[in-house]
């Protein structure tokens, strides 16, 4: 059995995430594992670090017009940007089967315990109500929840209506029915019931899944297999537990997809443990000398073996938080600092905290390119731990 070293894994992941050499296609850059877009707009910095000779304005226009890429709730129920041609991989493959829990739908358990209304019935009625988006998109998530809850009220069993109009246990000034809709929207997204449209200033816009995206180059089984292979390509060596955590799937669903991809897996030893890699991947130790600032939730940072990028556990807690993660300063594939940005009158200010000494000139070079990308001034402030 082959032994894989940390150096080989680091070099491979930089290449798999298109962080070793800049490319020209947003569609290709997002094809490995997509871009999480939470907080809204963070995907732009992730794309910038992988692309050459492009501006943020051009990327926003490409997404708004769905020119090769689209945005929908996907992995872990988060807003995700991925290639249009891979909708089956990032949506269809996430659909749960019988006796499997749907991603992000755990909050529906109190409703089901109190009303005994089957999940499948609620989801079916929501999918019918989502047809309204074909006539008119909806601005803001809160308004979307309200409109859909009102539309569903006439379709749900009478036994559920009292609970439907009672106060929500999840948020103030929210009805239980609106909370139920909010949880159901993720599974509805996986069934191609709703996507994100062009953002309206500070508010998201929600619309129907485009009718013109009908051609499916994957069978359901092929889409499931492809999702596993993309995970292994981006984060291998790994195992089914890592896959479940990355997708947000329950163990049963994750194992089902994992088994579909068994023929694509190759067993290896990594850090003394038996893991698997995608059999089409080759691992070398060639690492490109490159300094970059990755945004919070960049795909490269979405890993289970955090010590690969940063060995100090104390510093890891500054990078990977429950909420409000900072961005990461990366040098030769390893994490050597954190950063966050603030809007200023004349542009953007980057506040950088380094864990070790690196060349200021390298950061200045990155910042200069980022200014051209944003088409606005970018300044730097260094802080101490």
Residue 206, domain member (yes or no): no
Host domain of residue 141: 96-190
| Coil vs helix vs strand at 302 | coil
pLDDT in tens, 11-27: 999 999 999 999 999 99
Residue 43, domain member (yes or no): no
Residue 182, domain member (yes or no): yes
pLDDT of residue 334: 96
pLDDT in tens, 258-302: 999 999 999 999 999 999 999 999 988 787 789 999 999 999 999
pLDDT of residue 286: 80
Domain edge (last residue) among 172, 190, 208? 190
pLDDT in tens, 29-60: 999 999 999 999 999 999 999 999 999 999 99
Q: Is the model's pTM score more than 0.85?
A: yes
Residue 11, domain member (yes or no): no
- Domains contained in the chain, number: 2
Residue 170, domain member (yes or no): yes
**Dist CA 341 CA 378 (whole Å):** 9
369 phi and psi angles, rounded to 5 deg: -65, -35
3-state percent breakdown (helix, strand, coil) of the chain, nearest 5? 45, 20, 35
Centroid of chain to Cα 244 = 14
Sign of the CA dihedral with 331 first, then 334, 336, and 342 last: positive
Q: Is the pLDDT of residue 118 over 90?
A: no
8 A C-beta contact, residue 367 and residue 380: yes
Residue 203, domain member (yes or no): no
Domain edge (last residue) among 133, 161, 190? 190
Residue 115, domain member (yes or no): yes
Residue 371, domain member (yes or no): yes
Mean pLDDT, rounded, of the chain: 95
> In terms of Cα–Cα distance, which of 57, 43, 39, 63 is closest to 299?
43
pLDDT in tens, 347-369: 999 999 999 999 999 999 999 99
Domain edge (last residue) among 174, 190, 206? 190
First-to-last alpha carbon distance for the chain, in angstroms, is 43
């Amino acid at each position: 059995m082959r032994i894989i070293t940390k150096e080989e894994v680091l070099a491979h992941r930089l290449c798999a995430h298109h962080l070793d050499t800049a490319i020209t296609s947003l569609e290709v850059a997002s094809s490995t594992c997509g871009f999480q877009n939470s907080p809204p707009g963070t995907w732009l910095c992730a794309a910038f670090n992988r692309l050459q000779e492009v501006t943020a304005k051009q990327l926003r226009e490409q997404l708004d017009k769905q020119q090769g890429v689209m945005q929908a709730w996907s992995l872990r129920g988060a807003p995700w940007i991925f290639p249009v041609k891979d909708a089956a991989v990032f949506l269809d493959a996430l659909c749960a089967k019988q006796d499997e829990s749907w991603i992000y739908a755990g909050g529906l358990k109190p409703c089901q315990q109190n009303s005994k209304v089957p999940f499948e019935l609620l989801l079916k009625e929501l999918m019918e109500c989502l047809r309204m988006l074909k006539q008119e998109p909806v601005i803001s998530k809160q308004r979307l929840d309200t409109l859909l809850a009102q539309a569903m009220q006439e379709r749900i069993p009478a036994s559920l209506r009292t609970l439907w109009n009672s106060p929500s246990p999840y948020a103030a000034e929210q009805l239980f029915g609106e909370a139920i809709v909010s949880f159901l929207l993720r599974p509805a997204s996986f069934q191609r019931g709703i996507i994100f449209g062009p953002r309206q200033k500070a508010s998201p816009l929600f619309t129907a899944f485009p009718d013109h995206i009908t051609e499916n180059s994957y069978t359901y089984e092929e889409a499931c297999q492809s999702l596993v292979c993309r995970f292994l390509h981006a984060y291998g060596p790994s195992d089914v537990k890592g896959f479940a955590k990355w997708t947000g799937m329950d163990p049963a669903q994750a194992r089902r997809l994992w088994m579909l991809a068994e023929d694509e897996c190759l067993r290896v030893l990594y850090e003394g443990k038996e893991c698997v890699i995608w059999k089409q991947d080759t691992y070398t130790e060639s690492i490109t000398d490159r300094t970059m600032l990755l945004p919070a939730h960049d795909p490269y940072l979405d890993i289970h073996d955090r010590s690969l990028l940063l060995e100090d556990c104390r510093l890891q807690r500054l990078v990977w938080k429950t909420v409000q993660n900072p961005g990461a300063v990366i040098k030769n594939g390893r994490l050597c600092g954190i950063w966050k940005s603030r809007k200023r009158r004349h542009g953007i200010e980057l506040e950088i905290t380094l864990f070790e000494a690196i060349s200021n000139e390298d950061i200045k070079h990155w910042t200069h390119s980022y200014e051209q990308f944003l088409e606005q001034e970018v300044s730097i402030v260094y802080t101490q731990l």
